[in-house]
Structure 1
Amino acid sequence: MGLWHVFYADWQMECCGTPFSVGDEVSWPLLLLDADEMFGGGWHDQLTKVSGPVEDVGGVRLVREETGLTVALGADPDDDEDRRPLPGDWTRSVGMLSVERHGARWPQVAGRVRAVQVLTQAYAESAPGSRSWEPVAGRRRLRTVERCPKWFTDADAERADGQRRRWRKSGVVVTLEVPGTDSWLSYAVREARGMPQQDPEPGAETKDLPAAALTALLESLSTVTPPPTPTARRRHGRTEGHRR
């Protein structure tokens, strides 16, 4: 079973979502978004890679991910040209999985909720006295909870670095376990537990792991702290960087 980070936006939940708890079985339509367009970018742990053939279903570009996940590909609404891959293409895309309950319809993904983190995003006033706010890239917090709230709130404005800022609870980051799939996150969990990566038994990464231990492990793999700057090294005549 693959573990996937999925973002559930506050307005999607408040409009027509149903709150859920850790351990619940859910079914959601998933959309892969450009991570740089989500709250100014700066994401790392929560990024998802999908690869597979592209098909068109009622005008929606779907990827039947090679490990079993079905995901719709988002388009940039400000782009004059549709840059999504064409039906019949094979694509490899990296972005943020999100729940999308508005507009077109496509097959939903069913799975079990393994962790829930409330996302609190920083916003800065776009201009002094403008009363309009823009997300601050990379300035966010995650707090582990047992249940997704129905309603989300703003904090009072404060002044920081010469700007007025405010924090807003902007949704939740969910760890969703989906049968018949595999993922970067599942790989990271197996690595953290010292488990073999070759031909893993489905669901082995979470099997027999107490709930509290699983929560702590998943929390450590879904942070907002920037990763360390790669240290350059030279190998075989070219410069490479260390990666986690």
Structure 2
Amino acid sequence: MADQLVEIVVDSWEIECCAPPPVVGERSSWRVLFVPSVDHRLATEHEWSVLAHDPEPRLSRDGITAAWGGGGDGRPEPGLRRLHGYLSGAAHVVPPDLAPLTGPVRRVRVLSEEFVPEDGRLVRVPGTFRTEEVDRSPRWFATPNPVPVTPEPARSEWVAHTPLRPADRSPEPRWAAVQPGAGRHETGIVIDLEVPG
């Protein structure tokens, strides 16, 4: 079988925490979750063989095996199923027995979207999804207009110890307790990984 390119979306926090940033031309390994979605810009439809597995089903097609990443809602029954979604690369919270996809990275794009405050939280602005071609994934992703929080509170969904990466993408962030602000956020990357077909 010929090799194939597999598009894998990786959330920024996976890289910022501890996953090695992928570099074009270098080998990379990712365990993948299939995330069902009809509105994600990188979602596609494919026929998958769904296998019963505890705690979540496994999906297989063209030499790719993924764990179900959609939770209980819409969990597919075993058998051949046409599913619409995307593959999410994960270094955390994946079944340890899930085999990784491994191969050379052929392309890396940084994903970004505009966010605005609404009802006390940040929400995505429709139509602002953008990708930027890069040779390597950043270690730290841009968070615009961070608002320092003082005194420093306990961690929460809205306040976290966040790396503040300058616009020049310098490698070392300045750490601070912040609440993210409105603007364009780099939300992750998408890599094209060459794997056996």
Q: TM-score range by the shorter chain?
A: 0.7 to 0.9
Per-residue CA deviation, residues 63-103 of structure 1 (Å, 9 max, x unaligned), is: 121x2211222224xxxx5421123x211212121112222
TM-score, reference length from structure 2: 0.72
| 1:168 aligned onto 2:157 | no
Q: Highest CA radius of gyration, 1 or 2?
A: 1
1:6 corresponds in structure 2 to 8
| 1:126 aligned onto 2:118 | yes
1:93 corresponds in structure 2 to 83
**Relative contact order, CA 8 A, sep 6+: which one is greater?**
2
Q: Percent identity?
A: 30
Task: Please list, as runs of the form range in 1=range in 2, the aligned pairs for 1:66-145 lying within 5 A after superposition.
Answer: 67-76=62-71, 82-87=73-78, 89-105=79-95, 106-127=98-119, 130=120, 132-145=121-134
One-letter amino acid of the counterpart of residue 110, structure 1:
T
Return the structure number with greater helix share. 1
Per-residue CA deviation, residues 138-169 of structure 1 (Å, 9 max, x unaligned), is: 31221111011111121238xxxxxx941111
Q: Gaps spanning 5+ residues in structure 2: where? A: 147-180
Return the structure number with greater strand share. 2
Per-residue CA deviation, residues 75-133 of structure 1 (Å, 9 max, x unaligned), is: 24xxxx5421123x211212121112222412211122111011111111114xx3x20
Distance 1:91 1:113, change over 3 A: same
Paired positions, count: 159
Alignment RMSD? 2.1
TM-score, reference length from structure 1: 0.59
Q: Gaps spanning 5+ residues in structure 1: where? A: 158-163, 181-244
Q: Is the 8 A contact 1:5 1:47 kept in 2?
A: no
Per-residue CA deviation, residues 170-215 of structure 1 (Å, 9 max, x unaligned), is: 11111112112xxxxxxxxxxxxxxxxxxxxxxxxxxxxxxxxxxx
Q: CA deviation at 1:136?
A: 1.9
